[in-house]
Amino acid sequence: MSDNFAKVDAIVKKYDRNPSKLIGILQEAQEVFGYLPEEEMTYLANQLGISPARIFGVATFYAHFTLSPKGKYLIRICDGTACHVKKSSDIIAALFKELGLNEKKLTSDDGLFTIELVACLGACGLAPVMVINEKVHGQMTPDQALALVREIKASEGGN
């Protein structure tokens, strides 16, 4: 744990202990820890001289932050207007079914996949769009989406 606190210290130092840079600090913390763990965030509040409530207030306000660990593969499915018109909802339904997920439960039991629905990835020319860990897949169909997920499952199962 003290190890993690040292990591928080390093981030705080980089941002000059400046609470007005909280969003950048949380972004970096999430990159380090994969999510925003409660104990480390309380420690961070102490270091910045602000209340933990303010940190959790900010962390829960923005869609980008998460308070629980995410899957190894983050699948972001775009449900922006252009993707919606091109039937992204069919892709969402197919992947929810495949991974046993729903709108309330977004990380699979094996910890491999997290599905995130995003409002627009700005790649509307390629609608519908899905992003798996930064790699953008355009003009998707439910079948192609399932194939990608099954491919990952197979490669993970092989290890």
Partner 1 sequence: MSINLENIAASFNERMDQHKYRIMICGGTGCIANGSMEVYEKFQEVIAAKGMSVSVQLDKHESDVVMSCSGCQGFCQRGPLVTIYPEGIFYTKVKASDVEEIVEETLVKGNIVERLLVVDAETQEHIKHVHEVPFYTRQNRIVLENCGHIDARDIEDYIAKGGYVQAKRAVLEMTDEEICQKVLDSGLKGRGGAGFPTGLKWTFARKAVSEKKYIICNGDEGDPGAFMDRSLMEGNPHAVLEGMIIAAMGIGASEGHVYVRTEYPLAVERIKLAADEARRMGFLGDNIFGSGKHFDIFIMEGAGAFVCGEETALMSSIEGKRGMPNPKPPFPANKGLFGYSTTINNVETLASVPIVLAEGSTYGQLGTENARGTKTFALTGNVVNTGLIEVPFGATLRQIIDDIGGGVVDDDGTVKPSNFKAVQIGGPSGGCLTPEHIDLPLDYAGVQKVGAIIGSGGLVVMNHQTCMVQIARFFMQFTQNESCGKCVVCREGTKQMLDLLDDIIEGRADENTIPLLEELAYAVQDGALCGLGKTAPNPVISTLRYFRDEYEDHVFNKHCAAGRCKALANYVINPERCKKCSLCMRTCPNGAISGSREEGYRIDPAKCIKCGACQAACKFGAIEVK
Distance in Å, CB of 53 to partner 1, minimum:
11
Return the number of the residue (43 or 65) whose C-beta is nearest partner 1. Answer: 65
Binding residues for partner 1, per CB under 8 A?
Answer: 18-24, 26-27, 54, 57-58, 61-65, 79-86, 118-127, 129, 134-138
User: Is the Cβ of residue 2 or residue 135 nearer to partner 1 in the bound state?
Assistant: 135
Cβ 157 to partner 1 shortest distance, Å: 27
* Locus of tokens 């099954």: 150
Q: Nearer to partner 1 by C-beta: 62 or 151? A: 62
Cβ at position 123, least distance to partner 1 in Å: 5
CA-CA distances (angstroms) from residue 56 to 6, 97, 135, 153? 20, 32, 30, 34
Query: Which phi and psi angles does 87 have, rounded to 5°?
Result: 70, 45
Nearer to partner 1, 40 or 79 (CB): 79
CB atoms closer than 10 angstroms to residue 111: 12
3 state SS for 91-146: HHHHHHHHHCCCCCCCECCCCCEEEEEECCCCCHHHCCCEEECCEEECCCCHHHHH
- Taking the complex as a whole, the smallest distance from the CB of residue 14 to partner 1 amounts, in Å, to 14
